[in-house]
């Protein structure tokens, strides 16, 4: 069954030329897993990955901006061909501006999905702010659209479907 999206959200999505994503809580369920030796593990949803590859293939690049560093994320992003990956970021707005400068895509033509308070300043810069139902309440209140699917469980697939559907 194809998901329908609010018409106002679809109208905004038609103009989006780049998708920015937070990681923990959006691409993952937000939990951190550590092995006895300190190795970090993350679980990524395979349907998110296939949708991300489709989005990139249709000409909408993805920028991952995370406050944490993660070898698991680096590996997953490389597997998917994500062109812009920034980890260990303290200032997400400055990083988004760097992406804008390097791509020539204005921030108002970007969408960004986040789930926690450090993502709110980015919401003020982009044309479409997105969140997940497991996000902080303040983030949900400020998002233009909240997915039906929780982070790490296919929410990114839902976001990619929105952007791809808006282009059709």
Indicate the DSSP class of residue 155.
H
What φ, ψ does residue 41 adopt, rounded to 5°?
-120, 145
* 7 located within any domain: no
For the chain, how many structural domains are there in total?
A: 1
Inter-CA distances, 145 with 47, 55, 76, 111, 141, Å: 20, 18, 25, 11, 9
Q: Residue 8: inside a domain, yes or no? A: no
Residue 35 lies in a domain: yes
The answer as to whether 2 is a domain residue is no
In a domain, 3, yes or no: no
| Predicted confidence band of residue 2 (pLDDT cuts 50, 70, 90) | low
Supply the range of the domain harboring residue 156: 17-167
* Position 106 in a domain: yes
Residue 106, domain CATH: 3.40.50.1000
8-55: pLDDT as tens digits? 999 999 999 999 999 999 999 999 889 999 888 899 999 999 999 999
Q: What is the pTM of this model?
A: 0.94
| pLDDT given for residue 152 in this prediction | 95
Q: What is the pLDDT of residue 1?
A: 43
* Domain annotation covers residue 34: yes
28 assigned to some structural domain: yes
């Amino acid at each position: 069954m194809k998901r329908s999206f609010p018409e106002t959200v679809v109208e905004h999505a038609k103009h989006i030329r780049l998708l920015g994503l937070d990681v923990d809580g959006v691409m993952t369920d937000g939990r951190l897993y550590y092995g006895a030796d300190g190795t970090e593990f993350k679980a990524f949803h395979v349907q998110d990955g296939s949708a991300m590859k489709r989005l990139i293939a249709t000409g909408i690049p993805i920028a991952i901006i995370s406050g944490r560093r993660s070898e698991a994320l680096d590996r997953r992003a490389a597997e998917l061909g994500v062109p812009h990956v920034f980890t260990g970021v303290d200032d997400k707005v400055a990083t988004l501006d760097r992406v804008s400068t390097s791509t020539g895509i204005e921030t108002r033509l970007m969408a960004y999905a986040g789930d926690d308070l450090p993502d709110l300043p980015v919401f003020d810069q982009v044309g479409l702010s997105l969140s997940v139902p497991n996000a902080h309440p303040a983030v949900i209140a400020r998002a233009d659209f909240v997915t039906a699917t929780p982070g790490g469980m296919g929410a990114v697939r839902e976001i990619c479907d929105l952007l791809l559907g808006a282009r059709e």
